[in-house]
Chain A
Amino acid sequence: MGSTGAFDEIWGHGGPEAPREAFAALSQWIAETPPDELQRRQHSAEAAFRQLGITFAVYGDSDAAERIIPFDIVPRIFLRREWEKLSEGLVQRVEAINAFLEDIYGARRILDEGILPPELVLHNEQFRPEVAGIRPPHGVWAHICGIDLVRTGPDEFYVLEDNARTPSGVSYMLENREAMIRLCPELFRDFRVAPVDSYPDMLLETMRSVAPSGRARPVCVVLTPGHFNSAYYEHSFLADSMGVELVEAADLVVDDDIVYMETIAGRVRVDVIYRRIDDDFLDPLVFRPDSLLGVPGLIAAYRAGNVALLNAPGNGIADDKAIYSYMPEIVRFYSGGEAKLPNVETWRCREPQALKYVLDHLPELVVKLVDGSGGYGMLVGPTATHAQIEAFRAALIAEPHRYIAQPTLALSTVPTLTEKGLAPRHVDFRPFVLTGSDKVRVVPGGLTRVALREGSLVVNSSQGGGTKDSFVLLGDAA
């Protein structure tokens, strides 16, 4: 078994022979189940995923227009105490995100008090003046959040990224669990795993709780861009498991500031829309005038308070890269306490002291463009050439405000089935947090993504990443 030097969540630093104390039983299950048996179960799960059509499209890949995301049979496990601590941090963070959005589209107190540089918000394309002044029904903005976390040690979790727009992946959490229950029933007999299958009910409760007031039996729908979208399976899965209609923009009409769907018996009023399409394509009258998609008049209905949109348009400002580094300050500003879940340490090069540190430590750091996307304009110090480092040094000195820098982290690993047997592979984690008008709900589970290539830190499904089930135990040992 290769040792990466990173913390393994089951084996600790000692390898398979010396697992972490609480994980002795699970480690034994891994050791005693023959690899070819694990392999067989894994293939069976993947075949089922393919038949169900749990596929995603890889753009520009015509040979395999639809692929399944590889599934790994060895679960990732959180002990109860670990989870409780994580949950508290998640709730605090999501509450702060909601408070931030309420403020930034309303009074903008956080700018007046100098907590955030105003231009960081006002000049940011993710801040949408078109929806300024709108207060969503019940004042909830980020109903469904996916918070991406990484771990570096037993008690060291860091937020890598917030997703407050339309985070996806929850269908994998549910389907992975279904597969595990079917293929490894013994694990559920031996360990008390918190169920995740109530997620659709929780989501529907959340949706109903934010319906415009006065609507006794609110009609909820899921809005999808259509079945060519890479996350379509998830859209249909969620609509199906909640028992609500899955609509496309063409099914919706707005008349007199009220949203309806076109049915075989005429129009039916819609009260709550879980939309899985981007802001840009919601309403061509307000956002992209060149967009042929969208529902003309939708934002007018929203502004009039006649429909709830999950998540609220304009949320992108809360999970923007430039704002991320201020999340500890944002959490402190709205909650009055320190963030329970820390950010990955981030140096904002716009600040002279930070810039000096970054320039002195370039070979150890990851430097990112604040407004860059897709890895463009990124320096990974430890693997960069001298010339690349010097080029970034010049760029940083010229335009420091465009850059942030972070340390390179040693992500935790989880034993994963590879062609050569079980080996540690790096993972990240996306738990889902639901916010309704009544309460904040954290689902005991989430999406664990695993980098299947040895040593790789890239967990993206388009680049060879896979998924694992994520167990949250009702006890403190596995």
Chain B
Amino acid sequence: MRIAVEHRSVYRFTQPQARIVQMLRLTPCDTQHQTVVSWMVGVDCDARLRDAVDGYGNAVTMLYAEGPIEAIEIAVTGEVLTTDNAGVVRGAAEPLPPALFLRTTARTAASPELAAFARDVSDGTGDPIERLHRLNQALHARFRCVPDVPDTGLTAAEAFAGKAQASRDLAQMFVAAARTLDAPARYVSGYRLDHMAQCAPHGWCEAWVAGLGWIGFDPVTGMSPGDGHVRVAVGLDADGAAAIAGRRIGHGDEELAVDVQVDRLGNEE
């Protein structure tokens, strides 16, 4: 499938900023089932951009802008070709061993309730893939999914106490729960073709199964991602894979507006 992505983030400041430094995880990498046709990260003011690869193998872009800056827009436009591989990830850069992803973080620490939930839904099967699928479906069934908004720092444990959650929170709950079942799991941020208006990238997750490798799970659909997902970055939690991490030097408040458009191009199928 040919997918077009447009992702705009606009920061407006109540007072001009002297400098802005941001780390952007906004560029997808090629895998066996995802080919980046074109991709561009643009900024609407004088800025220097530097590309690198972080410790997790994600493509990152450092953005350095000198003030005075009253507003800054980071616009991503690109096209990606995808094929469906039933969620199995092949050909991604994997600089870290899967066992690392058993590590928990402040945002993915499971509460006793979440751990019990993971135990209950996976009870009765010893098959690791089956357990993960059940977990994925159970999360899908339990929560009403709401559109993503910019990250507020909600933890998996806090999200589990609610009823309706965004893709980011569902994914963090999956990650937290899977780790309690001794499955290495990680957070994935990227884009998903759907009909909901988006104010943030899409979040889902991947868990590692011996013999198969990393397998994607999207609790928003209750299924594994197919050719409608564009994988951008992975991390231990949503912070580790955040699209933009930044610091500004200057007074005043900021306001962030994000607009994500994901469209299907052509009718090759």
Contacts and interface: CB of A to CB of B under 8 A. Distances in A.
Given A123-B102, A123-B103, A129 B96 contact: yes
A285 B246 contact: yes
A127 B103 CA distance: 11
A293 to B, nearest CB: 11
A297 interface: yes
B247 A285 contact: yes
B99 A118 contact: yes
B102 A129 contact: no
A219 interface: no
Tell me which of A122, A134, A286 has the highest count of chain B C-beta atoms within 10 A of its own C-beta: A122
A181 to B, nearest CB: 47
Interface stretch (B48-56, B79-87, B170-178, B254-262): B48-56
Contacts of A297: 21, 23, 62, 64
Interface in B55-69: 55-56, 60, 62, 64, 66
Contact of B100 (A129, A131, A285): A129
Given A130-B55, A296-B247, A289 B239 contact: yes
B95 interface: yes
A178 to B, nearest CB: 41
A133 B60 CA distance: 14
Contacts of B23: 285-286, 297, 300
Interface in A177-224: none
Nearest to B236: A129
Interface in A254-299: 254-257, 284-286, 289, 296-297
B21 A296 contact: yes
B102 A122 contact: yes
Interface string B226-253: 0000000000100100000111000000
B50 A257 contact: yes
Contacts of A300: 23, 50, 52, 60, 62
Contact of A131 (B21, B22, B55, B236): B55
Contact of A289 (B22, B52, B95, B245): B245
Contacts of B52: 257, 300, 303-304
Nearest to A294: B247
Nearest to A290: B153
A85 interface: no
Nearest to B20: A296
Given A119-B102, A296-B21, A296-B247, A256 B54 contact: no
B178 to A, nearest CB: 15
Contact of B96 (A123, A132, A257, A303): A132
Contact of B50 (A129, A133, A304): A304
A111 interface: yes
A362 interface: no
Given A123-B102, A255-B64, A133 B53 contact: yes
Nearest to B101: A122
A286 B60 CA distance: 12
Contacts of B53: 133
Nearest to A250: B249
Sort chain B's interface into a size bin: 20 to 34
B24 to A, nearest CB: 10
Contacts of A255: 48, 64, 66
B95 A133 contact: yes
A108 interface: yes
Given A285-B247, A300-B50, A254 B99 contact: no
A253 interface: yes
A122 B64 contact: no
A253 B97 contact: no
Contacts of B62: 257, 297, 300
A305 to B, nearest CB: 10
B51 to A, nearest CB: 10
Nearest to A303: B52
A304 B52 CA distance: 8
A284 B100 contact: no
Contacts of A122: 97, 99-100, 102-103
A119 B55 contact: no
Given A129-B55, A133-B53, A285-B245, A256 B96 contact: no
A10 B95 CA distance: 54
Contacts of A123: 99-100, 102-103
B97 A108 contact: yes
B113 to A, nearest CB: 23
B142 interface: no
Nearest to A130: B55
24 contacts: A108-B97, A119-B102, A122-B99, A122-B102, A129-B55, A129-B56, A129-B96, A130-B54, A132-B56, A133-B53, A134-B55, A254-B21, A255-B48, A256-B50, A257-B62, A284-B245, A285-B23, A285-B247, A286-B245, A289-B239, A289-B245, A300-B23, A303-B52, A303-B54
Interface of B: 19, 21-23, 48, 50, 52-56, 60, 62, 64, 66, 95-97, 99-100, 102-103, 236, 239, 245-247
